[in-house]
Amino acid sequence: MTQHDPDFEAFLTISAVLTGYSVAELQGTGCAPEYWTQFQQVLSEEVCVGFLSGAAQLTCQDRDEVVRDFFLSDPCHGPVARALIQLWYLGQWSPLPQDWTDMYGASRFDTARILSSRAYKEGLVWDAIGAHPMGAKQQGFGAWALEPPAGRAGT
């Protein structure tokens, strides 16, 4: 099992901060191992190690600054972070931009695709918008007539 793999744990820690969902919630999608595999297949070892090293800094005081400085605005980590967020939200890999792959290396796994039917159904976007994945996780007869669930911020 992978749960005591420190790299996988770092991957989950960073994923949780970037997505706004807890590590347990991300595990609860059942997609973490699959996404971890995709992540490693797309990135070179060097880029991967560099990206995951940011996990250690996320425990500090100003987490937002770390996320913006180390991840989002970094020429190497930024596009990776944005692709990772979209992977969790949509179950779909968004290819890295051309100038990024020119700089940090291309991978044949870096193509636009929905990773699996489970990945589609477990996209976080459906929970975030207060709905369910279209075509799966049905809510039951008449559920659409009920008041929508409040967002977590709005409760």
Q: Tokens at residue 116, please?
A: 């699996």
**Which distant-in-sequence residues (6+ apart) come within 8 Å of 54 by Cβ?**
14, 66, 70, 71, 77
Q: 113 φ, ψ to 5°?
A: -165, 155
Q: Is residue 77 at the binding interface for another protein, with CB under 8 A as the rule?
A: no
Distance of CA 72 to the CA centre of its chain: 13
* Residue from the set 10, 11, 13, 21 that interacts with another protein by CB under 8 A: 21
Q: Is residue 76 at the binding interface for another protein, with CB under 8 A as the rule?
A: no
Q: Tokens at residue 28, please?
A: 């609860």
Q: Is residue 146 at the binding interface for another protein, with CB under 8 A as the rule?
A: yes
Asked if 61 and 129 touch (Cβ cutoff 8 Å), the reply is no
Q: Tokens at residue 3, please?
A: 């749960």
Among the listed ranges 43-51, 85-93, 98-106, the one in contact with another protein (CB under 8 A) is: 85-93
Q: Which is nearer to another protein, 60 or 145 (CB)?
A: 145
Q: Is residue 135 at the binding interface for another protein, with CB under 8 A as the rule?
A: yes
**Which distant-in-sequence residues (6+ apart) come within 8 Å of 44 by Cβ?**
104, 105, 107
* Residue from the set 9, 57, 74, 94 that interacts with another protein by CB under 8 A: 94
Distance of CA 129 to the CA centre of its chain: 16
Closest contact distance (angstroms) between CB of 41 and another protein is 14
Q: Is residue 75 at the binding interface for another protein, with CB under 8 A as the rule?
A: no
Q: Which is nearer to another protein, 45 or 145 (CB)?
A: 145
Q: Tokens at residue 66, please?
A: 């770390």
Closest contact distance (angstroms) between CB of 25 and another protein is 7
Binding residues for another protein (CB under 8 A): 1, 3-4, 17-25, 27-30, 34, 67, 72, 81-82, 85-86, 89-90, 92, 94, 112-118, 120-121, 124-126, 128-132, 134-148, 150-154
